[in-house]
Copies of this chain bind each other. A is one copy, B any other.
Amino acid sequence: MDFSTWMQSIQQRTEQTLDHLLPAPHLAPQRLHQAMRYAVLGGGKRVRPLLCHAAGLITGASSEHLDIAASAVELIHVYSLVHDDLPCMDDDILRRGKPTCHVEFDEATAMLVGDALQTLAFQTLAEHTLCEPCNDDQRNAQAQEPLEKSAAARQLNMVSLLAHASGSRGMAGGQAIDLAAIDQALTLSELEFMHIHKTGALIRAAVLLGAHCGSNLSSEAIRHLDHYAKIAGLLFQVVDDILDSEADTATLGKTAGKDAAQNKPTYVTLLGLPQAREKAAELHTSARAALADFGTSAQRLIELTDFIGHRKF
């Protein structure tokens, strides 16, 4: 299967899983459920689910388990977009080529949509099987190695991992730093600190959750993968800033030039366009290099890194 076909198949699986996880539109409260479905379904590049699936291939995770983990991460991502678009935050009217949730519905509904999507993410991780049962029942009392954690214990760790990535010291914290940065002159390292939280934390969670759905990796391999994910998150953001500075609204499916208009620092405003492009190329190379030890099992993740580095929308 070529990369583009694989990507489409994951995007379709993600759409189907999200459709299945979201409450049906006829269930009460209907308007809330319709708005949740409006915000989540039928749009988005599904970058985080793609990263989750690609990382899961390294550890031989099953596609069904990855669907669940990938959807939980995407639900967190969409909740953050819905809240971020509200008038008290970025006040945006266009997202994924459609009116934003509060424009299509109303502000109060959009706030509840974000709240309920976050809850659904954790409910999803807690309620579905995420990894193969380990041989908990066949423990050998004589074994010198530490016992493998039970599937439930591993799953609890995954809930905790997603919570860390989403909370005040992860994504939500990044948004707070972003808010405080309006009209401020940030240094490059301050900008990077913001992005490592705002978008980076959830991208790292997507990669690590995918890997955790499969067989155990050594802690060294986990460190490599985490290092990769951190670079990939920054790469994604630098490319986002470049696209935002040069693309038009129709291509992006969201309001272009927004950051500059709001006087928010970006890699492009800080470095200039040519150097931002250079930075993206460097990050691209480093991200690929971080995957070297995984050999062919990381093929999809490498292809996905190339896609993130070269994307036009």
Chain A residues with a Cβ under 8 A of chain B? 23, 27-29, 31-33, 36, 79-80, 83, 86-89, 106-109, 111-112, 114-116, 118-120, 122-123, 125-127, 136-137, 139, 150, 152-153, 155-157, 159-160, 163-164, 166-169, 172-173, 175-177, 179-180
Q: Are A156 and B167 in touch, CB under 8 angstroms?
A: no
Q: Are A123 and B176 in touch, CB under 8 angstroms?
A: no
Q: Are B172 and A116 in touch, CB under 8 angstroms?
A: yes
A136 to B152, CA, bound (A): 13
A123 with B167: in contact, given A109-B179, A172-B115 (CB under 8 Å)? yes
A180 with B88: in contact, given A115-B172, A160-B127, A175-B112 (CB under 8 Å)? no
Q: Are A29 and B173 in touch, CB under 8 angstroms?
A: yes
Q: Are A29 and B168 in touch, CB under 8 angstroms?
A: yes
Q: Are A163 and B32 in touch, CB under 8 angstroms?
A: no
Known contacts A29-B176, A123-B167; 20 additional CB pairs below 8 A are A27-B169, A83-B112, A86-B88, A86-B111, A88-B107, A89-B108, A89-B111, A109-B176, A112-B179, A114-B115, A116-B172, A116-B173, A120-B163, A122-B122, A123-B160, A123-B164, A126-B163, A137-B139, A156-B156, A159-B159
Nearest chain-B residue to A179 (Cβ)? B108
A32 with B115: in contact, given A123-B163, A126-B156, A152-B150 (CB under 8 Å)? no
Q: Are A115 and B118 in touch, CB under 8 angstroms?
A: yes
Q: Are A168 and B23 in touch, CB under 8 angstroms?
A: yes
Q: Are B139 and A111 in touch, CB under 8 angstroms?
A: no
Nearest chain-B residue to A172 (Cβ)? B116
Give the number of times this chain occurs in the complex, counting copies.
2
**Closest CB of chain B to A138's CB: distance in Å?**
12
CB neighbours of A29 from chain B (8 A): 168, 173, 176-177, 180
A88 with B108: in contact, given A31-B176, A176-B32 (CB under 8 Å)? yes
**Closest CB of chain B to A71's CB: distance in Å?**
14
CB neighbours of A150 from chain B (8 A): 136, 150, 152-153
CB neighbours of A155 from chain B (8 A): 152, 156
CB neighbours of A27 from chain B (8 A): 169
Q: Which of B32, B112, B120, B167 contacts A119, CB < 8 Å? A: B167
